[in-house]
Copies of this chain bind each other. A is one copy, B any other.
Amino acid sequence: MSKKKDILKAALQLFTENGERATSTKSIASEAETSEALIFRHFGTKEKLLEEIIKNGYQESTKLISQFLHEENGLEYILKIVEVPRILVHAHPDFWKMQHKIIALNLLSQKHHDFFMKPCYDRLKIAFSELNYENPALEAKLLLIYIDGMWKHFASRQLDSKTETALTALVQQKYRAHN
């Protein structure tokens, strides 16, 4: 069991550096100080190894988010969802760094992310509706594009925590100021 975790850890690191395609099972085995054969015994294929990493990542992130996003009124929900990128990336920086690198090219990665984000769109439409925005659906779409840009930015660059907080607060301020 120890070796299995070593493999998962090594794979996460190498997938983050070079993506799935440019990471050989040989390099994973080497980094995990084990044999290539063991990777295939445990995970079957390189792709299934990646899938396990992705599943673990979204499972933990889902837990985190469902604790954080409770049922509140429209404005509170919007203000909280703006904080999600910072919270996610801080909780699992390695995982979200990997996701940022591979999501555009990897269908599996995309599917899991879409599933993870889907509830937010519906809830945001209601929130903007409550707050009498002119076009709630468009506002929801726009905020989600922003959220997307934000976690990718936080995951890819090492911003100091202060800048991340300031950016988050700035967006919140804009939504607070509405009418």
* Chain A interface (Cβ < 8 Å from any Cβ of B): 18-19, 21-22, 100-105, 135, 138-139, 141-142, 145-146, 148-150, 152-153, 156, 163, 166-167, 170-171, 174
Given contacts A104-B101, A105-B101, contact A167 B138 (CB under 8 A): yes
Q: Is the CB of A145 within 8 A of B153?
A: yes
Among B22, B103, B138, B156, which residue has its beta carbon within 8 angstroms of that of A21?
B22
Among B22, B138, B153, B167, which residue has its beta carbon within 8 angstroms of that of A170?
B138
Label chain A's interface by main secondary structure. Answer: helix
Integer count of this chain's copies in the complex: 2
Q: Is the CB of B105 within 8 A of A18?
A: yes
The CB with the most chain B CB atoms within 10 A, among A19, A22, A150, is that of: A19
Question: Distance (Å) between the CB of A81 and the closest chain B CB?
Answer: 15
Q: Is the CB of A170 within 8 A of B139?
A: yes
Q: Which residue of B lies closest to A104 (CB)?
A: B101
Q: Which residue of B lies closest to A110 (CB)?
A: B156
CA distance A29 to B63 in the complex (A): 47
Given contacts A100-B104, A104-B100, contact A135 B170 (CB under 8 A): yes
The interface residues of chain B lying within 8 Å CB-to-CB of A19 are: 19, 21, 105
Q: Is the CB of A150 within 8 A of B139?
A: no
Q: Is the CB of A148 within 8 A of B153?
A: yes
Can you show 20 pairs from A to B with CB atoms below 8 A apart? A19-B21, A21-B21, A21-B22, A101-B104, A102-B104, A102-B105, A104-B104, A104-B152, A135-B170, A138-B163, A138-B167, A138-B170, A141-B167, A142-B167, A145-B146, A145-B167, A146-B146, A146-B149, A148-B152, A148-B153
The interface residues of chain B lying within 8 Å CB-to-CB of A152 are: 104, 148-149
